[in-house]
Structure 1
Amino acid sequence: MTTPAPSSAAARQRLWHALGMLCGLGLGLAPIAPEVCAVLRALVGADAAALFWLDAQGLPEGFFHEDSPAGAQDLFLNEFSRLFAGPGEINVHTLARADGPRIGRLLSPGAQFFRSNSYNLLVRASGHHHTLDLRVEVAGRTRAIAMLFRAPGTGFSAGEVALLERASGWLARAFGAPPAALPAHAEGTGPVGHVVLDAEGRLPLFADETAAQLLRQANLRGLGLRAGPVALPPDLPQRLGLAQPGAAARIAVPGGWLAAGLRTLQPLAGGPGAAGQHLLTLQLERPHSIGVVQRVLALPLSPLQREIAMLAGLGHARADSHRLAGVGEAALKKHLRAIFAATGASDWGDLSRRLQA
């Protein structure tokens, strides 16, 4: 069922403010994809939203889709080149090219699209029919594709197209430099998963349930593991950017970063020449700053007061808030009284600690 667009100006303003605060963190779109999709769906009014972030060649590196079934997600991740990149296929790689309109190429795609794998195996398989697409460009390069979906029935109006187009500037801002504030990530924010690899080719031999779940949720190209039993690819370390033991990598995924590390285990018992093994560790790092945004947005504050509270939550000094928020000392004191009343904080330092908790 289509999520209705907000009816009040205050509700719309809050959604725009949420989008601006999330994208202003400068984390890219992958870590904030679940929150951004929810905002876009609510702003425009749609059944579901999806974000695809792209590599330098315009191919999807990963994605977040709110309601696509497991089988469709696995097909997209594992069979993209075989099923969805041929003639007549209109997909994220096609939409990433700058030889067409930036928004709305799938509003009236023609009969060929409805015969394509992209429509039948992905869009229709998810219960959708109408698609509103947006190319997110930064410095002349397509960095992401945003999509909104609706079931058969009413399509997207010109006004709704304009709303998504207005969001493009905020989405592009997500790829800018992060503000000087909290560290961009938090260490040890989730359980650690383990994958045991053989000694010679470092082929996966065993993955515990935590590792399997982290890889399912990562939605990385070539790692479609949602439907059926987990079957890890033989080149799993290379897909994660781990060329040799001792290597480490951080990969942007929905909700944060997937931290991966590879090390050599001691040889198994069995005497001289016994084969050693390798251990791949995985952990999701959740950015502190996303939690700060969520806590600030939950407060009964004005947009400016949320901006001021956000500065404290991101670790800025009170002395910097005049310049960053564009307010004088008298106005700042007035707004802080409202912020302290809403949060129970006693001073700026206490407010910072509460919002970072």
Structure 2
Amino acid sequence: MPASPHPHASPSQSPASAQQRLWQELDLLCRLGLGLAPIAPDVCAVLRALVGAEAAALFWLDEHGLPEGFFHEDSPAAAQDLFLNEFERLFVGEGETNVVALARADGPAVGRLLTPDAQYFRSNTYNLLIRAGGHHHTLDLRVEAHGRTRAVLLLFRAQGRAFGAAEAALLERASASLQRAFGPGPIAAHTLPPRPDGGTGHIVLDAIGQRPVLADAAALALLQGARLRGLGVLGPHAALPPDLALRLGVRPGCSSHIPVPHGLLLAQAHELLTPAGNTAQWLITLQLQRPRQIDVVRRVLQLPLSPLQREIAALAGLGYARADAAPLTGVGDAALKKHMRSILEAAGAGDWHELGMHLRG
């Protein structure tokens, strides 16, 4: 089943301006420096539209090159369950061109699966994951940054619609933007704390082994949406792993922010004490937090502005001072004043400060 159209597509735009806008959206999102997990749904939608694919998937990797989590636009729940919880058993070994194989830096960064051999079509990777989603052709990209592979991106099409060199070149062009997602991000990003996105989930652990004994529906939904390998929360017999606290990186009095699709999963652990002051159980609270920088980019892209004007407006939304706009964009003061008139009019704002407030929501 093809994924839905890109949410920012506009029927009034010319094909050239629509493509330019998509490239700018990709670059603005990646330059936030949040990594690829929080922006994975946006990245998949943009690259699917740019290259002309039916669906996309993005896998981010840990320091050992293993898939840490993923976002897939249209993969069936059963296929996601297998990948997340049975990766080592089903998708590792001879003949399995899996994410780990595509992440190795011993071949081309793009297009390893353009012409796969017959063995690939007999593999679990193809039959249980690719074909299960109604796909046949795959175009792959390895994303490297700071000396190691950080992510693998896959685009899919049905049988009879093979990818070619032109699509591979487009995806390779995207690599430079995707690498920027692992950079330092905007200087002013610390002024935009994330905001809660939905309710809070609760998990109770026993005091001695710190094994899960109870989890509410909100916690299970948050862990399912996190798409983190090995958590065991998909499928009809979902069960939380005994080392859940370790996997989430929490202990009493500490918290962790885990990059997941759509934002950051905030995990916090607290000790539940008996009347005598002894630890009876642990309580882990979970909450999805949405980086406000992503919302700034989305609001900027909705304004009827030129690419340069969007760059200027984004600076206001991200908390930069107006004095930073000229040196950061290379625009002279006179031209900046002219652009600012158009930006403020489009945003319905009176000045730079009001523009920033409007874009931050």
Category of TM-score, reference length = shorter chain: over 0.9
Structure 1 segments of 4 or more deviating over 3 A? 1-7, 187-190, 272-275
Give the direction of change, closer, same or farther, for the CA distance of 1:118–1:245 in structure 2 (3 Å limit).
Answer: same
TM-score relative to the length of structure 1: 0.95
| 8 Å CA contact 1:185, 1:285 repeated in 2 | no
Query: What secondary structure does 1:295 align onto?
Result: helix
How much does 1:189 deviate?
A: 4.0
Q: Match of 2:292, as an amino acid?
A: H
CA deviations 1:136-193 (Å, max 9, x no partner) are 0113311100100011111012111110010011011111111112326415443211
Q: Deviations over 1:102-133 (max 9, x none)?
A: 11111111011111110111001111100000
Partner of 2:316: 312
Which deviations, in whole Å up to 9, do the C-alpha atoms of 1:13-49 show, x marking residues without a partner?
0000000100010110001000000000000011101
- 1:180-227 Cα distance to aligned partner (Å, 9 max, x none): 123264154432110011121121111111111100000111024232
Name the CA distance, whole Å, in 1 between partners of 2:323 and 2:136.
Answer: 52
Quick one: which of 157, 161, 172 aligns to 2:168? 161
Q: 1:175-324 maps to which residues of 2 (within 5 A)? A: 175-183=182-190, 185-228=193-236, 230-242=238-250, 244-267=251-274, 276-324=280-328
2:78 is matched with 71
From the superposition, tell whether residues 152 and 275 of structure 1 become closer, same or farther in structure 2 (CA, over 3 Å). Answer: same
1:97 to 77, 98, 104: 104
Please state whether the residue corresponding to 1:181 is helix, strand or coil. Answer: helix
Tell me the distance in 1 between the aligned counterparts of 2:245 and 2:253. Answer: 12
**Given residue 210 of structure 2, which amino acid in structure 1 is its aligned partner?**
R
* Counterpart-to-counterpart distance in 2, 1:2 and 1:284: 27
1:146 matched to 2:150? The reply is: no
Deviation of 1:9 (Å): 0.7
Secondary structure in 2 matching 1:16 = helix
Assess if the C-alpha contact under 8 Å between 1:73 and 1:224 holds in 2: no
Rounded to whole Å, the distance in 1 between the matches of 2:308 and 2:249 is 42
- CA distance change for structure 1 residues 262 and 275 in 2, over 3 Å: closer, same or farther? closer
My pick for the range that moved more, 154-163 or 219-228, is 219-228
Correspondence for 1:340: 344
Identical counterparts, % of pairs: 64
Residues 293 and 275 of structure 1, relative CA distance in 2, 3 Å threshold: closer
Distance in 2, Cα, partners of 1:138 & 1:274: 46
Shift in CA distance, 273/347, structure 1 to aligned 2, threshold 3 Å = closer
Match in the other structure for 2:90: 83
Which residue is equivalent to 2:121? 114
Confirm or deny: 8 A CA contact 1:212 1:230 kept in the other structure.
Answer: no
Residue 187 of structure 2 aligns to a residue in which SS? coil
Alpha-carbon contact 2:202-2:216 (below 8 Å) kept: yes
* Whole-Å separation in 2 of the counterparts to 1:130 and 1:59: 23
CA distance in 1, matches of 2:146, 2:246: 29
The verdict on how the C-alpha distance between 1:341 and 1:200 changes in structure 2, with shifts beyond 3 A counting, is same
1:349 and 1:274 map into 2 onto residues whose CA distance is: 51
Partner in structure 1 of residue 137 of structure 2: 130
1:325 counterpart = 2:329: yes
Aligned equivalents of 1:52 and 1:255: distance in 2? 14
Structure 1 position 246, deviation (Å): 2.0
Equivalent residue, structure 1, for 2:27: 20
Aligned equivalents of 2:234, 2:89: Cα separation in 1: 19
RMSD value, Cα: 1.8
Residue 276 of structure 1 aligns to a residue in which SS?
strand
Deviation (angstroms), 1:320: 1.0
TM-score computed with the length of structure 2 as normaliser: 0.94
The answer to whether the Cα contact below 8 Å between 1:181 and 1:314 also exists between their aligned partners in 2 is yes
Distance 1:307 1:91, change over 3 A: same
Equivalents in 2 of 1:209, 1:181: separation in Å? 36
